[in-house]
Structure 1
Amino acid sequence: MIREKLPELLAPAGNLECALAAFESGADAVYAGLSKFNAREKSDNFTLDQMSKLSYYARKHKKKIYLTLNTLVKERELEAIYRNLEEISRLAVDAVIVQDIGVVHLIKTFFPEISLHASTQMGIHNSEGVKLAESMGIDRVILERQVTIDELAMIAEVSPLELEVFIHGALCCSLSGNCLFSSWIGGWSGNRGKCKQPCRRRYYSKSEGNGFFFSTRDLYTLDMIPELKETGVASLKIEGRLKNADYVGRTVTAYRMILDAAEGTEKELMGKAKTILAGSAGRKWSSGFYTNESLKTVVDHTSIGVSGQLCGELTDISGKGITVKVSREIKIGDRLRIQPRSADEGPRITVTAMKAGKRTVERARRNEHITILLSRDSIKETLSPGSLVFKVGQTPRKLSVNPEEIPFLPALRIFNLKVKISRKGIVVGYSDFPDAEPFIRTAIFDTAEKHRLAPDTVVSFFTATRDERIKAGIIEVSIEGDLFIPSGVLKKIRRDFWEQTAERLETDLRPDKSRRNITAYMQYHYSTRKAEDKSTAHPGTKKTLMIHERNNRIPVMNPDDLKSVSIFHQDTCSDEIFLPVFTPEGSLDDIKNLIDTAYSNGMRRFRARSLYQINILKQYPDLYVTAAYPLPVSNSFAARELAKIGVSCIQGWVELEKPALEDLVMFNPLDTEIYRYGRPHVLVTRAEIKTEGEITDSHGVAFMVKKDKHEGITFLYGRKVMSIPAVFGTSECLDLINAYPEEKDITSFNFFKDWV
């Protein structure tokens, strides 16, 4: 039976026009980013003024906004994140979507009233991960995209938090947060919102010829909406912050139609919804990773991995523009992508003028040769005849509201409160203003005979401020005894409190008087800073050797070296157990049993490589837990958060450059390890990959595809071995799972260049 409450329909908003198109087409909420620290930095994104307008519109129409801060953050960027959050807290967004554990820590410490959603980039893919998120103060988890629908139902059944899943749009081949592919080949990191999509390119394999071995089809789930509703998930999410308003409007309209359909009528509306969706110009559709069958077909290595509708081929380039042989109608206002056949990233253009011979035309039909006029020489220089032309968007329908006419939302002041009620009266204190005088109302309240005053009732009353400048944040309530307060009396106290608060906004409740001003932040940040004089520090000498059982790559070990082996190959002579990157819900009990066996046999050191593992390990006393790749720790606030849940040592994120690693070491309150030598995986997937062994790209860069029978997933490794110098104050990880000691074909990865 379908549950009564419909899940939220959540749409992408790369700009204000897309957000308004989403809302007018039936979206309940949108997710959007500012110009920095979001995973789609190539989209238009929002200025603070535009976000203020969107917040005004959303509040007026009872819609929701989730703001993305879903990239990894370096130590020196934490202050910028703090200042961003100061602005965000005044915009009345409904939640912030985060990837970095350090950003979680910063928000919970200084902005506890902001609701947190765990990004899919956190890689949470089972119920233990969801439980850990709850313990960190997160309100909703956006699950890993490679969770099947059966696994989703199992997780939802026991989840203490709201769950959000993707239902439509482009898919990444890799498990979320596990991809270094773009960073490895050119320094453009997907974990920083700058992915160049190397997974869409053609690769050459000795065993399978050439193909697009990592290029996924687009996710499509119109037919699965009834089943997804039945799982009880809170939110159904459409991907596409790089898409235009036409795409967003069409996609939202189609899914809204099926989502609202009465039980048993979905099939009648399906044809109409599919027709609407077909005009949104995407790749071939797939059920993504939701079924065991679609895991085998989500990657189509025979098809070029480009989104959009093929509408022509570029035949000539001139001073005026480009000539295209048309295979599908092109008209003024269309958004086109000119795609090289190598599948390298091609430029996008908007058609503003076309000519057929000497005639100016508004549209071009099949088999016509037309010239699309271009004035940008830089675009023409990147093109070559033979490139394919794809339609990726159309002129959107006119909005009912002019974005320029939407007012700005007045800047909000948010107050977290502590309300104490006794028989003698009410005291309301300001949590973030310890020096401010509390509001006191003396009264004699009666003992309750029937209707005892409950904390939730008090919260409900004090949430209503009736002042556009003020918003209640977290309200903590303590009630001494069983009391009865008439609602009229409580309303009067509430009104007097907020009126007095408004009068004090420019005196003792000014922002600079708050405990969470920039000075307080700096003091907190620097409280774990170590001595800067490196002459007193020592380079790390203790090495951890990550190896498999029966591995013949083991070098002669120093007495201080530690041997780390897989949980699947544990033995009595190893010093540490490392855990798998991915454990589906159905295999959790197996991993728990293996951990329990290792602990019973005396093992006390574990290497956690996914957040869910920390939730399992924290139940055992006397453990030394290292958080290691691909569990990302790129700043000291992430280390602080992990320290609270039982982690003893962190491995600095493998993409960090030397200065960023040194900053992390200086501020990290835990032991620090670096990934000094080995082959970190650059992509890992549950999808069936149609090749194995060595592959190369069109530039001759080599990779290795390896399938893991224990984890049931496929890994992609760079041919070169990552090797970096020692860093003062750290121990070292030598990863010999897929590397021999002292290989000659090496790379320092990002160590000597800026991680962007």
Structure 2
Amino acid sequence: MKKIELLAPAGSMESLYAAVQNGADAIYVGGTKFSARAYASNFDEENMIEAVEYCHLYDVKIYVTANILIKENEISEAMDYIKFLYEIGVDALIIQDTGLAELIKRNFPDFEIHASTQMTVHNPEGALLLKKLGFSRIVLSRELSLNEIEYISKNLGVETEIFTHGALCISYSGQCLMSSLIGGRSGNRGKCAQPCRLPYTLINRDIMKEKKGYILSPKDICTLENIKEIIESGTSSLKIEGRMKRPEYVAGVVSAYRKAIDEFYGSKQLKSSMKNFNVNKEKKKLLQLFNREGFSSAYLFGNIGKNMMAYNFPKNTGVKIGEVNKDLALKLEENLSVKDGIRFGNDGFVVSKIIKDCENVDEAYVGDEVKLKPTKYKIGDILYKTSDIKLLENLSKTYSNIYERKNGLNLIVKFNVGEPLTLRTYYKDKDFEVIGEVVQKALKKPLDKEKIIKNLNKTGDTAFQFINIDFESFEEGFLPVSLVNSMRRKLLQKIVEYIINKDKRSMQKGLNLNLSSKKEKRDKIDNPLVIVTTKDQLKAVQEYQIENIAVELFMKECDIDITEVRCKNLYIKTASIIKNEFESVCNIIEENLSHIKGIVTCNLGIIKRFKEKTKIIGDYKLNIFNSYSLEFYKDMVDTASISLELNKKEISNLMRKAVIPCLLIVYGKTELMISEHCPIGSMFGNKTNNNICSRECENGNYVLKDRIGEEFPLKMDKYCRSHIYNSSAINLIPNFEEIKKLNIDFLRLDFTDENYEDTLKIMNAFKEKKYEGDFTKYTRGHFKRGVE
């Protein structure tokens, strides 16, 4: 059995040391550019070289995240950066942008690329498509169950990676535009503002029933108790989330999972070295390091109800230490030290004094009754320990010596009078030997074996140690101890130089950034593609004799029989997420192939299944950000909806080199999130069983209201996934003359919750190419501003 990889995050050199010294098999880091954690410390080029060399000394792989969407004017710089990473020996790249994938496989065919979870691979067909297109590994969406992971990993033979600990996004990664559209900070560009961690009110507008809380804030994942099942699923890598976390967190989480993994393999091999592993003790440590109202196992076992949510507090909850009594004291439920961090409600403080039996103490223990200074809390408050100074200090010690962990070597020594001192070892399929000064006849005190061994073992400032030192031959003689030490250093330096140089590569030719032939220029964009969900919308649209209509067939509100739609070109629009229902959706499409012109979709699995059978219009969640993404999809997609995160200038830059026809959305409420979690059922549904659907979504019209009063429509599809839409529809109809100059091929209008009259109003505005009504309920999205 190939041993599973433990993959750890590192947002700084200290975190990287912590991960390696605590047993990580691989590390993922981000550079100062093109990384999806723009606010981590990250690695400049000098640190990146140091990181690669350090990791490789320990046979630890290093993966670099270049997992943001790349703008047209950034392509050249991005590829220069990829070239740098290639040449210094980075083991693999984790990427999201398909244009970058196109260029990497063209210019660096032996550079391993991993599909980021931002690519939203969540079904077998999508995984197979990316494998065929050159991705060595797929980082699967966090929403998959163990059964789904096992099928893709074992049955299909796809190398997969899954998240096993850390923060969980409520939206499918790569499908979230909430931070981007409402705050201008794009998650697809590494700058998510985490609007999911803010408070919302869920309102049923039909009956004015509401619930408040951190409705979109999930608990962190912890799978320490499920390591056996996860390893047996066949996945290749267990990924810990946390590039924004402190080094002590990385050290603690990595060490816990290292023990759990080793315990699994140890028990399989009937070894007893890990018999003292205590999962409850380790989990308690993890809770103390960081938790949001505890942990969940996310979607691995299907428990996707309220148990996975942190409705009351979206930050580090801490561990309960007691409730304040009438004397402003508390009986401790956990040990406590001066300098520990304390939380009560939304406030907190650092303990400066612990008073026990009227005396100041540095530490107090479970069962002790104490008062704390500063006394910011009041009677009845529940106190939580959010930071344990002793735990952090102990974890810091695990990597304070960055060479505490050692690679074992067997050393052969020749020490004969009249012959040069020779040291020889074997490491990584290679012999290493150094030959030193001639051993002299001892005039006084000879250099004995023990003294030689003692000095050869002084390897503390290196990543190596000699576990066995054998003398091939030995005669009593003399050499200065300084020469023995020098020989040891030279031998180890030879090994170090071999390790840090063996993975370096050079690129002999220049970068190839060429594109295929450009598409033919189109002058007429008056015939739009119109997306409809309801019969009322369809009725309004057909009054304008629209030639291209797509029906959003799989939304719960859709009441349209597509066999009754009359237009020149009819399309079926799919959701971006299609999991267990994949074959059912495919069957519906197959049954209607004779009625339709094609499919509007961003689902990679659907694209793979139908690209040879019908016309494919790529939806905007394909995240087309540059012309090289169009090159990537040119044999799979007939027309592509470009990203909604590009501004006018960036659209123009893309369109000048577009190799397939492109489509721009000029009207519609943007889908901000799509989630497996159902806030309606969780907040208003069955209170005794999280996994029984109460169908509350069918009993009203739901919105999420934020802190400033904006209301975001919340809709369900026919497979019980929730879709959150922007409160304001994009409306670029007044910008029609500007759009004409961009060389766009087609325009698109999306109708989601508009009634008949609203739809007529927009259709008429489009026909007249102007909008003269109240514009306050609309937005131009990123057409003017774009994202950083």
- Mapped pair 1:563 → 2:549: yes
Give matches, 1:294-305, under 5 Å: 294-301=304-311, 303-305=312-314
Moved more, 74-83 or 601-610: 601-610
For residues 610 and 356 of structure 1, what CA distance do their matches in structure 2 show?
58
What displacement does 1:515 show?
Answer: 3.0
Change in CA separation of 1:387 and 1:270 when aligned onto 2, cut-off 3 Å: closer
CA distance in 2 between partners of 1:306 and 1:694 (Å): 24
Q: In the TM superposition, what are the counterparts of 1:3-14 in structure 2 within 5 Å?
A: 4-14=1-11
Please point out which of 675, 693, 696 is paired with 2:665.
Answer: 675
Does 2:618 correspond to 1:631? no
Confirm whether residue 612 of structure 1 aligns to residue 605 of structure 2.
Answer: yes
User: Which letter maps to 1:222?
Assistant: L
Give the alignment partner of residue 119 of structure 1, picking from 112, 116, 120: 116
Give structure 1 stretches of 5+ with no counterpart. Answer: 314-324, 342-347, 373-385, 407-464, 474-508
- Which AA in structure 2 matches 1:129? G
Distance change (3 Å), C-alpha of 1:515 and 1:722: same
Match of 2:374 among 365, 370, 373: 370
Q: Which of residues 671, 682, 687 is equivalent to 2:677?
A: 687
Task: Give 2:258's aligned amino acid.
Answer: R
Q: Indicate conservation of the 8 Å contact 2:581/2:719, yes or no.
A: no
Assess if the C-alpha contact under 8 Å between 2:669 and 2:725 holds in 1: yes
Q: Quick one: structure 1 residues 142 and 202, their matched pair in 2 at CA, closer, same or farther if it must change by over 3 Å?
A: same
Specify the alignment match of 1:713 in structure 2.
721
Residue 586 of structure 2 is matched in structure 1 by 592
- Deviation (angstroms), 1:649: 1.0
Post-superposition Cα deviations, 1:724-750, rounded to whole Å, max 9, x if no partner, equal 234232211111123343475111122
How many pairs are equivalent? Answer: 609
Alpha-carbon shift at residue 571 of structure 1 (Å) = 2.3
**Which is greater in Rg?**
2
Using the alignment, how far apart are the partners of 2:297 and 2:666 within structure 1? 39
Any idea what the Cα deviations from partners look like across 1:139-180, whole Å, max 9, x if unmatched? 000100011122222222332320111111110000111111
| Superimposed CA distance per residue, residues 266-310 of structure 1 (whole angstroms, 9 cap, x where no aligned partner) | 896323332332332222111111122244521243x11112416
**How far is 1:555 from its partner?**
2.8
Amino acid at match of 1:747: T
Q: Is the 2:223–2:297 Cα contact (8 Å) retained in structure 1?
A: yes
1:542 pairs, out of 505, 527, 530, with 527
List gaps (5 residues or longer) in structure 2: 204-208, 323-329, 406-496, 555-560, 685-696, 763-773
TM-score (norm 1): 0.73
Tell me whether 253-262 or 272-281 shows the greater mean CA deviation. 272-281
- Which residue of the other structure, out of 54, 57, 61, is the alignment partner of 1:57? 54
Cα distance 1:362–1:748, how it changes in 2: closer, same or farther (>3 A)?
A: farther
Q: How has the CA–CA distance of structure 1 residues 733 and 391 changed in structure 2, closer, same or farther, with 3 Å as cutoff?
A: same
Deviation at 1:625, TM superposition (A): 1.2
Residue 245 (structure 2) aligned to one of 228, 235, 243: 243
> CA separation in 2, counterparts of 1:82 and 1:683?
31
Map 1:333-732 to 2 at 5 A: 367-370=371-374, 391=386, 394-395=392-393, 396-400=395-399, 469=501, 471=503, 514-517=508-511, 520-521=512-513, 524=514, 538=523, 540-548=525-533, 550-552=535-537, 554-556=540-542, 558-559=544-545, 561-568=547-554, 570-571=562-563, 573=566, 575-584=570-579, 586-599=580-593, 601-620=594-613, 623-644=614-635, 646-689=636-679, 690=683, 693-708=702-717, 710-724=718-732, 725-726=735-736, 727-728=739-740, 729-730=743-744, 731-732=746-747
Identity fraction in percent: 27
Task: State how far apart, in whole Å, the 2-side matches of 1:392 and 1:38 are.
Answer: 29
Closer, same or farther: CA 105–340 of 1 in aligned 2, 3 Å: farther
Q: Output the CA distance in 2 between the equivalents of 1:326 and 1:14.
A: 38
Say if 1:334 and 1:77 are closer, same or farther in 2 by CA, change over 3 A. farther
Q: 1 CA distance for matches of 2:362 and 2:518? A: 64
> How far 1:354 moved relative to its partner?
5.6
Residue 226 of structure 2: which of 216, 224, 227 is its match? 224
1:747 aligns with 2:747: no
Match of 1:415 in 2: none
- How far, CA to CA, are the matches of 1:659 and 1:367 in structure 2? 62
Check conservation: 2:179, 2:192, Cα contact below 8 A.
yes
Contact conserved, 1:97 with 1:116, CA < 8 A, in 2?
A: yes
**Secondary structure of 1:571's partner?**
helix
- Partner Cα separation in structure 1 for residue 375 and residue 30 of structure 2: 36
| SS of match in other structure, 1:242 | coil
Relative distance call for 1:55 and 1:472 in structure 2 (3 A) is: closer
Amino acid at match of 1:737: T
* 1:159 and 2:168 aligned: no
Bigger mean CA offset, 287-296 vs 136-145: 287-296
2:217 aligned residue: 215
Amino acid of the residue matched to residue 625 of structure 1? I
Closer/same/farther in 2, CA of residues 668 and 326 from structure 1, 3 Å limit: farther
Counterpart secondary structure, 2:655: helix
- Tell me the CA shift for residue 135 of structure 1: 1.7
The equivalent residue for 1:379 is none
For 2:577 and 2:275, how far apart are their aligned partners in 1? 35
Structure 1: how far apart are the matches of 2:642 and 2:222?
A: 37
CA RMSD of aligned residues (A): 3.6
Residue deviations 1:526-560 (CA, integer Å, cap 9, x gap): x76799xxxx9746322111113524453355556
- The answer on whether the counterparts of 2:21 and 2:404 sit within 8 Å (CA) in structure 1 is no
SS at match of 2:290: coil
* Partner Cα distance (1:332, 1:633) in 2: 53
In structure 1, what residue type is equivalent to 2:253?
T
Matched-pair contact (CA < 8 Å) for 1:339–1:389: no
Aligned with 1:667: secondary structure? coil
Answer yes or no: is the 8 Å Cα contact 1:257–1:269 preserved in 2: no
Contact 2:532 2:550 (C-alpha < 8 Å) held by counterparts: yes
Aligned-partner Cα distance in 1 for 2:275–2:617: 49
The answer on 1:27 being equivalent to 2:13 is no
How far 1:516 sits from its partner (Å)?
2.5
Distance in 2 between residues matched to 1:63 and 1:638, nearest whole Å: 32
Would you say the 8 A contact 1:326–1:369 is kept in 2? no
Q: Contact 1:12–1:32 at 8 Å: present in 2 too?
A: yes
Q: Residue type matched to 1:611 in 2? A: L
Cα separation, partners in 2 of 1:389 and 1:662, compared to 1, 3 Å: farther
TM-score by length of 2: 0.70
Note the 1:128-167 alignment, pairs <5 A. Answer: 128-167=125-164
What is the SS of the residue equivalent to 2:525? coil
Given that residues 215 and 300 in structure 1 are in contact (C-alpha distance below 8 angstroms), is that contact kept between their aligned partners in structure 2? yes
Distance 1:653 1:149 in 2: 32
In structure 1, what residue type is equivalent to 2:261? L
Q: Distance in 2 between matches of 1:674 and 1:355?
A: 62
Pick closer, same or farther for the CA change 1:630–1:530 going to 2, 3 Å: closer
AA aligned opposite 1:100: D
For residue 403 of structure 1, report the CA deviation from its aligned partner: 6.2
Would you say the 8 A contact 1:297–1:688 is kept in 2? no
**Do the aligned partners of 1:299 and 1:688 also contact (CA within 8 Å) in 2?**
no
Alpha-carbon deviations, 1:13-65, whole Å to 9, x = none?
11111111111111111111011211111111111111211111121111111
| 1:56 counterpart SS class | helix
Corresponding letter in the other structure for 1:571: T
Q: Do the aligned partners of 1:142 and 1:164 also contact (CA within 8 Å) in 2?
A: yes
Distance 2:352 2:228 in 1: 45
CA distance, structure 1, for counterparts of residue 277 and residue 501 of structure 2: 48
